[in-house]
Amino acid sequence: MLTWNLAFKNVTKAGLRTWLNVFILSFAFVLIIWTDGMYDGMSKQVIGDMVDNSIGGGQFWQSNYDPFDPFSLDDSHAEIPGNFQNLINTGKATPKLIRSCAMFPNGRVQSALLNGIDPEQNILNFPSSALKENGNGFIPALIGGRMAKNTGLTIGDIVTVRWRNVNGTFDAADVEIVNIFNTNVQAIDNGQLYIPLAKLQDMMEVSNEATIITLQKGIETIPAGSPSWQFKDHAYLLKDFYDYLDRKTVGSNIMYAILLGMALLAIFDTQVLAIFRRRKEMGTMMALGMTRGRVIRLFTLEGTMHGLLAIVLGAIYGIPILIWSASVGIGMPDTVDQTGLSLSTTLYPVYGVGLFFSTSLILFITVVIVSFLPTRKIAKLNPTDALRGKMS
Amino acid sequence: MTASELIVTKKLTKQYPIGGNFFTALREVDLCIDQCEFTGIVGPSGSGKTTLLNIIGALDAPTNGNAKVLGSEIGKMNHVEAAKLRNQYLGFIFQTYNLLPVYNVFENVEFPLLLQHIESSKRVDMVNKALEWVGLSEKAKSKPAQLSGGESQRVAIARAIVKQPKIVLADEPTANLDAQNSHHILKTMVTLNEELGTTFVFSTHDEKVISYLRRKIKLSDGEIVDDTIVN
Ligand SMILES: Nc1ncnc2c1ncn2[C@@H]1O[C@H](COP(=O)(O)OP(=O)(O)O)[C@@H](O)[C@H]1O
Ligand SMILES: [Mg+2]
C-alpha cells in the first residue's frame, strides 16, 4: 500500500517530467499501432483486390495450365464439366479460356495472352460487359491501363491479333479496343487482352472449353474436381503475396524497422535514462531506510503507471487520428507499383482489436521491463555507490 | 560494551578492490562513541571519513574487524535488517543535501515517517515540530529547487531528526555552505543534541565545524592518529 501511495505521489508530483515521459511513450504507442495498421491495411487491400478482380472464391485450373510455362498454354483447355456448367448457369462460377497470341500495335509486334471471358459474368469486379457492344464488325477487346500505356493503344484503336489455329498455321483477326480498365492487380493487366469467350472459342475451333473456372467469392460448397480440373485455393493463389509478406517480416521493410526502433528507443530513453538519472534519489531512499525490494517495486510501479498513462493518453489523441487516417487513407508514392504488388495508390490502414491489444501489451511489458531492469541493477549496488551516483 | 556505548568498532578495516589489488581505506580502527556525544571525525580529504561513517550507518560493510551500532553487528546484518536500523535509529545528513526533488519541504521531512507507517495526524505533528526546530515552518510548501543551500541543509537536518533517531551521521554538512549558514545549522544541531539527547557524528575538515565539536577523532590514511575530548 505504501509503495502504491509513494509511486502515485511520485508520478503526480513529477509534473512535467511525467508528462514528457508519458507523451513520448504514447507517441511510440500510436506510431506502432498506426504502422501495424498500415501493414494490415496493405495486406487486406491486396488480398481483397486479388479476390475481387482475379481469383474470386478460388479457381479450377485445367490440369495442363501452368502460368509460368507459355509453351504448354495452348494445350491447356478442356471441355467444361457438367457440374461446373451448372454453377456457371446459376451465376456461381465463370469460365476463362486463355490462348497465347501476337499483337501488332502501331506496327510493332508484341506477345500477349488472349483471355476469353463471359461478357455477362458478375463473379469478378471487371468491366466485362463492355465486350457486349459490337457495332462495326470487329471483335471487341478490353485492356488494362498498364497494357494501354505499354502498347500505346487507346479506346477505338483497331489492332491485329495473330494466333496459331488447330492445324498449327497462323490465323489473324482485327480487334477493337472498346474500353480500358484500371486495376491494382498487375497480373490481370500487363500483357493481357480480353475478348468474348464465345469469340475465342470460335477462333480456336473449340466448343464450350475453358482453361480456368473461377468460383464466386464466398461460395459455400466447392464442387468436386477431377484429374483434368484441379482446385487451387486462396493459399495457393496468394502464395506469392504471402511469400512477400514473409520476406517483409524478416526485415526487408526498413521503414517499419526504423519506426519500431525509434519507438523502442524512445521507450528505452525515457524509462532507462529517467531511472539512471534518479540513482542518487534511490540511494537517498535507501539511506532513509527503504529496503531494496521496496525501491525496486516503487520504481517499477512508477514505470508501469507511466505505461498505463501513455496508453490512456495515446487513446485520447491517437484514436481520432487513427480513425481519421483509416477513413481518408494514406496516399502512396507511384513507386509502389514497381514492387509488383497489387497496391492501390491510397492505402487504408486497418486496425484490429487484436492488434490494439497486442500492441498495448507489448508496449506495456516493454515499459515495465525497462523500468524494472535498471532499477534492480541500481538497487543491488551498495547504497553508498547509488548515493555517489556511481555505476559499475 | 556498556549501555551508553552506541557505536563500538574493533579493528575495523575496509578495503576497496582496485584493479586486481586492494586499497585500504580504513586500517584497524578501534572506536567507541557514547550517547549524547557531539563528535567529529576530522581529517583531510581521502583519509577515510566517509568510509567510516558509511559503515557506522550500515550503508556499507567492513572487510575485517567489526562495527557494532546499537548492539547490532553491521557486518552480520542482511540488507533488510540494515534498512530497518537506518530507518528506526539513524539519521543521515549529506554534503549535497540529497532532498527528493519532486517533494516539497514538508513531504521530504515526512518521508522517513512514511516508511515507519506512522499515522497521518501524528506525522503532521512530528514534521511541523522538526520544521520548527530548524526554523523553516514557513517554507513547508516550497520545493527543494526554490531553497538556498543553507535552507536545503536545514531541511535535511529536519528530515534526519524528525523521527528522533539515536544517532545522526553528518558527512561534511557544511562543505557547500557559507560561514553564516554553517554557524546557523551547527547551532541548530548543538541545540538538538542538548534538548533531545541525540548523538551527532560528523565527518569534516571545516574549522567552523571543528570549533563546535566536543570530541575530535583525527583520521589520517585510514588510521586514528588522535582522539581528544574538548571541555
Ligand atoms: N568505492 C570505492 N572504491 C575504491 N576506492 C574508494 C571507494 N570509496 C572510497 N575510496 C577511496 O578510499 C579513500 C577514502 O575515501 P573516503 O572515505 O571517501 O575519504 P574522505 O571522506 O575522508 O574524503 C580514498 O582514497 C578514496 O579514493
Ligand atoms: Mg568524504
Q: Cell match 491517437: residue?
A: A318
Write A168-174 long-range contacts (CB < 8 A, 24+): A171/A203, A173/A139, A173/A203, A174/A138, A174/A139
Q: Which three cell numbers stand for residue B28?
A: 584497524
Q: How far apart are CA B38 and CA B153, in angstroms?
A: 18
pLDDT of residue A252: 44
Task: Report the greatest alpha carbon distance in chain B.
Answer: 54
Count of H helices and E strands in chain B? 7, 10
Residue pointed to by grid coordinates 556525544: B37
pLDDT of residue A38: 78
Radius of gyration of chain B (CA): 17
Helices (runs of H) and strands (runs of E) counted in chain A: 13, 13
Give B152 Cα–ligand 2 centroid separation in angstroms.
19
> What pLDDT digit, counting tens, does each position of B198-216 carry?
999 999 999 999 999 999 9
- Interface check for B87 against chain A (CB to CB < 8 A): the answer is yes
Give the ligand with the smallest distance to the CA of B43: 1
Question: Quick one: which of A332, A52, A48, A330 has its CA closest to A181?
Answer: A52
Q: Given this model, what pLDDT does residue A391 score?
A: 45
Q: Are B39 and B190 contacting, i.e. CB atoms less than 8 angstroms apart?
A: no
Which atom of ligand 1 is least distant from the CA of B43?
22
Q: Rounded to an integer, what distance in angstroms lies between the CA atom of residue A135 and that of residue A132? A: 10
Higher-confidence residue: B194 or A223? B194
> Is B166 an interface residue toward A (CB < 8 Å)?
no
Pocket-forming residues, ligand 1, beta carbon under 6 Å? B 16, 18, 23, 25, 43, 45-51, 203
The predicted model scores a pTM of 0.73
Grid cell digits, residue A100? 497465347
Nearest-CA residue for ligand 1 atom 4 is B16
Q: How far apart, in Å, are the Cα atoms of A95 and each of A75, A81, A287?
A: 16, 11, 83
Four-way CATH pick for B5-229: 2.40.50.140, 3.40.50.150, 3.40.50.720, 3.40.50.300: 3.40.50.300
Helix H or strand E encompassing A200 = helix A197-203
Instruction: Quote the cell numbers at residue B116.
Output: 515507519
pLDDT the model gives residue A250? 56
CB atoms within 10 A of CB A231: 16
Taking CA–CA distances from B117, the nearest residue in chain A reads A2
Query: Which pLDDT belongs to residue A389?
Result: 60
Domain boundaries, chain B: 5-229
CB A368 within 8 A of CB A270: no
State the cell numbers at A288: 532513509
CB pairs under 8 A between A and B: 70
- Predicted complex: ipTM over 0.90: yes
Distance to chain A for B75, nearest Cα, Å: 13
Query: In this complex, do B115 and A286 lie within 8 Å of one another by their Cβ atoms?
Result: no
Measured from the Cβ of residue B123, the count of other Cβ atoms closer than 10 Å reads 18
In 3D space, the residue among B201, B111, B53, B196 whose CA is nearest the CA of residue A290 turns out to be: B111
∠ CA A113-A119-A122, nearest 5°, is 110
What confidence score (pLDDT) does residue A263 get? Answer: 65
Q: State residue A392's pLDDT score.
A: 39
Give the mean pLDDT per block of 10 residues along chain A (392 residues).
Answer: 85 81 82 78 83 88 87 86 90 92 89 92 86 79 92 92 84 91 86 92 89 89 87 88 70 59 70 80 92 89 86 90 82 57 69 77 81 82 73 42
Smallest CA–CA separation between B52 and chain A, in Å?
Answer: 12
Residue B2: pLDDT band (50, 70, 90) is low
Q: Which residue has the cell 486463355?
A: A98
Mutation for testing the B interface, residue in A288, A297, A380 having most B CBs under 10 Å: A288
Nearest to B86 among A289, A292, A384 (CB): A289
CA–CA gap between residue B100 and residue B156 (Å, rounded): 10
Q: Which amino acid is at A105?
A: P
Window 172-231 of B, Cβ < 8 Å to A: none
Full DSSP string of B152-200: HHHHHHHHHHTT--SEEEEESTTTTS-HHHHHHHHHHHHHHHHHH--EE
Per DSSP, which regions of A337-385 are E strands?
346-347
pLDDT the model gives residue A259: 62
Contacts of residue A53, Cβ cutoff 8 Å, sequence gap at least 6: A124, A125, A126, A183, A184, A185, A188, A342
pLDDT at A160: 93
CA A48 to chain B, closest CA, distance in angstroms equals 54
Pairing of strands B64-69, B5-18: antiparallel
| Nine cell digits for residue B209 | 565545524
Neighbouring residues of A231: CB distance < 8 A, sequence distance ≥ 6: A58, A59, A60, A222, A225
Which residues have a Cβ under 8 Å from the Cβ of B195 and sit 6 or more positions away?
none
Burial B150-178 (b: 16+ CB within 10 A, else e): bbbbbbbbbbbbbbebbbbbbbbbbbbbe
Domain boundaries, chain A: 2-52+240-387, 59-232
